[in-house]
């Protein structure tokens, strides 16, 4: 059994220092060949270089994270190029107190004020040691127009249908109390609460069917949760005012000249989304939701077989990767992080 710590060497302009770093596990399951670990410790001020000992080897040039950044990140491994281009022109807001971990098709509307800061501050004020909160996810089906130029949030929300299927929730964390987390919850013990449905919940747009025929758009109205979700009274999941404001903001972005040029390039048929969704369902989620944990495979898009004969411009996140292999732990890191653009999508 190896010790859960690493020896580090730090340098600044005047001195150097040896420190033992405590290791905290990030990945909660044991389904993957390797699991992620986070090294935690006190380092030199104004540090210019860091190395860690893996027994008889040193790993250098590590990227250093002195503080959890709390601005909004969009993590892209691979996407069709028009979607990447649209993400580049959308303004990203910043915050300093909380970090949320959600998917692009997760929608959470603040109910305790006009902003996420109001929502989260009101909840976390209940306890000074409350490290993270969990919002439930309710799956929803909807229809959308095949033509990207005719895309409308009001159109989508007028066709919403609850599927009577809840998914594992997502968290909002207080970064000074949580060092690292898995996609759904931290592995290390921490004080947390789950937000009741009557207070708020994530609307998960899990199944959006793209159609070409015209369909009737209902008049502006609130999105109301059905009785099986909340039987104590009327629960407004999305108000018509929220929908109108989001639709207005989206149309403002898409009206820009650069966005208009990109919209023309967006394919009107889905290909990779369907393949990857079915692949993850087959290798991970079907076992997860049926509690057949022993049959679960490591959730990884590399398991998904994508067609290599379809030319569709894609953008891929890449870097110059380096590995230092030790007896009990390996260190993998990348430098020169960048996006590359190709004529097809690859994983």
* Residue range 55-76, pLDDT digits in tens: 655 555 444 433 323 345 566 6
Q: pLDDT exceeding 90 applies to what percent of the chain?
A: 7
- Residue 190 pLDDT > 50: yes
Tally Cβ neighbours within 10 Å of residue 225: 19
Q: How confident is the model at residue 2 (pLDDT cuts 50, 70, 90)?
A: very low
Q: What is the pLDDT of residue 58?
A: 53
Q: How confident is the model at residue 130 (pLDDT cuts 50, 70, 90)?
A: very high
Least confident of 19-23, 34-38, 184-188, 222-226: 222-226
Q: How confident is the model at residue 275 (pLDDT cuts 50, 70, 90)?
A: confident
Residue 336, CA distances (Å) to 314, 318, 321 in order: 20, 8, 9
Q: What is the pLDDT of residue 65?
A: 35
Tally Cβ neighbours within 10 Å of residue 57: 13
Cα angle value 72/74/76 (rounded, 5°):
165
The whole-angstrom separation of Cα 88 and Cα 328 is 40
The residues facing 191 across adjacent strands are none
Length of the chain: 347
What would the DSSP string read from start to end of 93-139?
A: -B-SS-EE---TTEE---SSSSSHHHHHHHHHTT-TT--EEEEEEEE
The residues facing 291 across adjacent strands are none
The whole-angstrom separation of Cα 249 and Cα 244 is 9
What average pLDDT score do residues 202-219 get? 71
Burial tier of 229 (Cβ tally within 10 Å: 0-12, 13-18, 19+): middle
Indicate the helix (H) or strand (E) that contains 205.
strand 202-211
The whole-angstrom separation of Cα 85 and Cα 264 is 12
Contact 312, 282 (CB under 8 A): no
The whole-angstrom separation of Cα 236 and Cα 189 is 34
What average pLDDT score do residues 257-274 get? 81
pTM of the model: 0.73
| Tokens 């909840």 found at | 123
- Residue 235 pLDDT > 70: no
Closest CA to 314 of 247, 267, 259: 267
């Amino acid at each position: 059994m190896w010790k859960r710590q690493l020896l580090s060497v730090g340098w600044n302009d005047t001195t150097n220092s040896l420190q033992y770093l405590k290791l905290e596990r990030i990945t909660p399951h044991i389904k993957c060949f390797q699991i992620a670990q986070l090294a935690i410790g006190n380092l030199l001020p104004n540090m210019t270089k860091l190395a860690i000992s893996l027994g008889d080897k040193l790993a250098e040039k590590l990227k250093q994270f002195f503080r959890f950044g709390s601005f909004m990140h969009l993590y892209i491994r691979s996407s069709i190029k028009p979607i990447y281009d649209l993400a580049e022109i959308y303004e990203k807001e910043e915050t300093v107190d909380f970090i949320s971990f959600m998917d692009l098709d997760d929608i959470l509307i603040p109910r305790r004020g006009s902003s996420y800061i109001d929502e989260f501050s009101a909840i976390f004020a209940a306890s000074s040691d409350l490290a993270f909160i969990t919002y439930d996810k309710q799956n929803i089906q909807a229809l959308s127009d095949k033509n990207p130029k005719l895309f409308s949030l009001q159109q989508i929300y007028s066709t919403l249908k609850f599927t009577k299927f809840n998914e594992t929730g997502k968290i909002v964390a207080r970064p000074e109390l949580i060092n690292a987390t898995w996609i759904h919850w931290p592995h290390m013990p921490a004080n947390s609460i789950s937000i009741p449905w009557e207070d708020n919940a994530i609307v998960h747009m899990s199944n959006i069917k793209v159609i070409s025929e015209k369909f009737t758009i209902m008049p502006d109205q609130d999105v109301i949760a059905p009785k099986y979700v909340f039987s104590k009274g009327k629960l407004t999941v999305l108000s018509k005012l929220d929908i109108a404001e989001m639709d207005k903001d989206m149309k403002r972005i898409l009206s820009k000249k650069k966005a208009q040029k990109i919209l023309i390039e967006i394919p009107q048929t889905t290909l990779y989304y369907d393949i990857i969704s079915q692949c993850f369902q087959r290798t991970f989620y079907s076992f997860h939701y049926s509690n057949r944990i022993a049959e679960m495979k490591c959730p990884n898009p590399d398991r998904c077989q994508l067609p290599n004969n379809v030319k569709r411009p894609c953008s891929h996140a890449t870097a110059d990767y380096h590995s230092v292999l030790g007896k009990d732990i390996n260190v993998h890191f990348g430098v020169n992080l960048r996006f590359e653009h190709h004529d097809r999508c690859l994983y």
